[in-house]
Amino acid sequence: MEPVKVGLLGLGTVGGGTVNVLQRNGDEICRRAGRPIRVTRAATRTLDKQRICETAGIELTDDPWKVVDDPEIRIVCELIGGTEIARELVLRAIGNGKHVVTANKALIAIHGNEVFEAAQQQGVTVAFEAAVAGGIPIIKAIREGLAGNRIEWLAGIINGTGNFILTEMRDKGRGFGEVLAEAQELGYAEADPAFDIDGTDAAHKLTILASIAFGIPLQFDRVYREGIDRITIEDVRYAEQLGYRIKHLGIARRAEQGIELRVHPTLIPERRLIANVDGVMNAVLVRADAVGPTLYYGPGAGADPTASAVVADLVDVTRALTSDPENRVPHLAFQPGALADLPILEMPEVETAYYLRMSAEDRPGVLAEVTRIFGDLGISIEAIRQQEPAGEERYVPIIFLTHRVVEARMNEAIGRIEALPSISGRVTRIRMETLS
Ligand code: NDP
Ligand code: HSE
């Protein structure tokens, strides 16, 4: 059969990986898709750069509009990144009646509602498996494999760079900047690595996961976001002494009053499988009513793993080229007219447990002052641990683990504790989940 012609926008880590996988596994892919998938054109910023893939047989251009306007190309693969030119190119490709495959989570999280509406009007597909958790087929698993379930919550390590940094710092005592530079070298990090560090990339991915899990519109602005930049090695060690690991999690939960959408460092019991997901690996734990808990694990970034997801989408789109648009899997798992307008909870309304670390004067009665504040606010304590003073220090670190309480009440407690003369500086707060 005639090959399906694909145009690539971007030939960097993911674009180069995609060409490599298509070339290496061409025969297998053809047997699966029913016809060969061939990259005929690729757009890059610079033409004379060393590539990680063989470019013979691919017409290179530095004008991406030539790719989206090429009448021969059936599928455009957007692997440029960012939300400006990528959005314009994708909308133009859709307008030209082309199917789109993208790894761009920022684009989907921020402009996805607009992009999918345009695609629906044109009867084309926009596939985005690679946008979440790299090589793990989590979009397909939730959208299709769990289609019979009511999903209750999901929690995931969904940024490979961040998990790689935390693991190297914890296991090898390496410095933050040095490990980040290695993640960039390995092609894991975003073009702006601040997105990996401050939780933005994980928030993009959580936006997408929540939408396909609960059938709600994409609402990136409503995700509460904290990054890994404030995690200290001492908190990592104290958490370990108490039987916990600190992981940066994206959590989406159906609560009684609405949906929780949050990404932040989280203490999880070390016996949970997800607590032991290290390096660039990602994992997503999904709790659904019929199947119960399921866990998806795999590489969260890098050329070949991400290309695995991009090529899977290319195969899916190729298979569906001749099917009626109405009979395809809906972009966001639920039929476009059936998305629910569920409220997204503000962070003070969210209920969770807490790890608190404070620096307290080393004298009798101080602990009682703090526990009285918890008692007055109805916050129940699970564990207290006073660390040894270092030499003649006047202040010692005290760690509290609390049971679940709404965040507004914890904010009040922290405010009162920080106002005590016996407490020095700010209270460190890390949220804690049992994920049971
Ligand atoms: P890279 O920076 O490695 O590659 C980007 C490519 O886009 C480069 O080839 C670059 O050209 C090209 N490009 C950028 N701007 C233009 C433009 N205006 N016109 C034409 N070409 C352009 O990024 P990645 O491959 O790492 O990431 C691509 C996308 O995939 C992003 O959305 C990212 O978030 C996502 N992603 C990345 C993963 C990873 O592990 N890296 C994993 C999952 C998703 P040139 O090479 O000449 O500079
Ligand atoms: N920068 C991203 C990460 C790439 O490290 O997870 C994969 O989406």
Between the alpha carbon of residue 230 and those of residues 130, 198, 224, 293, the distances in Å are 28, 9, 15, 30
Residues 13 and 153 in one domain: no
Residue with tokens 């007055």: 376
Best of 39, 44, 89, 132 to mutate for ligand 1, by most ligand atoms within 8 A of CB? 44
- 160 plus 69 within the same structural domain: no
Number of domains the chain is built from: 3
- Does residue 274 share a domain with residue 153? yes
118 and 200 inside one domain: no
Q: What is the pTM of this model?
A: 0.97
Report the CATH number at residue 386. 3.30.70.260
CB-ligand 2 contact for 104 (6 Å cutoff): no
Our answer to whether residue 5 is catalytic in this structure is no
* Predicted local confidence at residue 387, as pLDDT: 83
Q: What pLDDT does residue 276 have?
A: 97
How many CA atoms within 13 Å lie on the side-chain side of 186? 21
CATH label of the domain that carries residue 102: 3.40.50.720
CATH number at residue 248: 3.30.360.10
Instruction: Write the burial class of residue 326 (CB in 10 Å: 0-12 exposed, 13-18 middle, 19+ buried).
Output: exposed
Same structural domain, 198 and 288: yes
Same domain, 191 and 58: no
Per-residue pLDDT at 392 = 72
The reply to whether 157 and 282 lie within a common domain is: yes
CA of 14 from ligand 1 middle (Å) equals 7
Q: Is 13 in the pocket of ligand 2 (CB under 6 A)?
A: no
- Whether 242 maps to a domain, the answer reads yes
What is the 3-state secondary structure of 379-418? CCEEEEEECCCCCCCCEEEEEEEEEEEEHHHHHHHHHHHH
Q: Whose CA is nearest to atom 1 of ligand 1?
A: 12
Q: What is the DSSP string of 6-32?
A: EEEE--SHHHHHHHHHHHHTHHHHHHH
- Lining residues, ligand 1, CB within 6 Å: 10-15, 43-46, 49, 64, 79-81, 85, 103-105, 130, 134, 187-188, 190-191, 301-302, 306
Rounded-to-integer distance, Cα 98 and Cα 335, Å:
21
The boundaries of the domain holding residue 117 are: 4-135+303-338
Give the number of the atom of ligand 1 that is nearest the alpha carbon of residue 46. 47
Going by C-alpha positions, the residue among 153, 190, 176 that lies closest to residue 231 is 176
Tell which one of 14, 47, 200 to mutate to probe ligand 1, the residue whose CB is within 8 A of the most ligand atoms: 14
Reading the chain (436 residues) residue by residue, the pLDDT tens digits are 899 999 999 999 999 999 999 999 999 999 999 999 999 999 999 999 999 999 999 999 999 999 999 999 999 999 999 999 999 999 999 999 999 999 999 999 999 999 999 999 999 999 999 999 999 999 999 999 999 999 999 999 999 999 999 999 999 999 999 999 999 999 999 999 999 999 999 999 999 999 999 999 999 999 999 999 989 999 999 999 999 999 999 999 999 999 999 999 999 999 999 999 999 999 999 999 999 999 999 999 999 999 999 999 999 999 999 888 888 999 999 999 999 999 999 999 999 999 999 999 999 999 999 999 999 999 999 999 998 777 778 899 999 999 999 999 999 999 999 999 999 999 999 999 999 8
Cα four-point dihedral sign 39, 98, 94, 136: negative
